[in-house]
Structure 1
Amino acid sequence: MGTGIIGAIVLGLIVGALAKLIMPGDDPGGIIVTTLLGIVGAFLGSFLASSVFGVDATGFWNVWTWIFGIIGSLILLGIYRVIVGRRSRVRR
């Protein structure tokens, strides 16, 4: 992802928040986990865009960077909820 470290953090914060808006729910971890999932999701989305779909998703202002960043964040948020949800059900 050609956005640089600061750009990736800002992008991750924003796409993590957007993913949380699209997929609301009660997640433990709050804003820190959402931000981390957003950052990793942005990298995942960029990887998927280039390797699977052949789309250039580099650059902070590239629309594909944002679209695939949100998709990657949604994927990670869903996986996170499945893992955390399964773990909380086992403890009860």
Structure 2
Amino acid sequence: MDVVSALINAVSGAVGGGAAGAAMKDKGLGVAGNTIVGLLGGIGGGALLQNMGMLATTAESAGFDVGALAGQVVGGGVAGAILTAVIGLAKNAAKRPR
């Protein structure tokens, strides 16, 4: 994964994490937590999708390719949102009295 792809995935993951946290108002991790977890999910999910061959990196696309850029934004955003939702739900499930 090149640096540009990692940055695109990180930013879109942070946005996806923020959106997931906003959607789960009482189960979120707070603004900073949602952003950080989303950022990590975006980087990890984007790297995973690129290694599986599902996303082209910006270096592989030889210049500015809108399709590759859109794929990275969507992949990073969805991965960030999923990781934020999973960790938020797990954290709140662990807090519940039994």
TM-score, normalised by the number of residues in structure 1: 0.58
Task: Tell me the equivalent position of 1:86.
Answer: 90
Partner of 2:8: 11
Max radius of gyration: which structure?
A: 2
CA contact (8 A) 1:9 1:39 kept: yes
Q: Check if 1:59 corresponds to 2:64.
A: no
User: Gaps spanning 5+ residues in structure 2: where?
Assistant: none
Per-residue CA deviation, residues 54-88 of structure 1 (Å, 9 max, x unaligned), is xx602164423531552354145324423431331
Residue 35 of structure 1 pairs with residue 39 of structure 2: yes
Unaligned 5+ runs, structure 1: none
**How far apart are the structure 2 equivalents of 1:22 and 1:30?**
8
Give the aligned CA root-mean-square deviation in angstroms.
3.0
Higher relative contact order (CA 8 A, sep 6+): 2
Q: Following the alignment from structure 2 to structure 1, what is the Cα–Cα distance between the partners of residues 5 and 11?
A: 10
Q: TM-score, normalised by structure 2?
A: 0.56
Deviates more, 1:63-72 or 1:82-91: 63-72
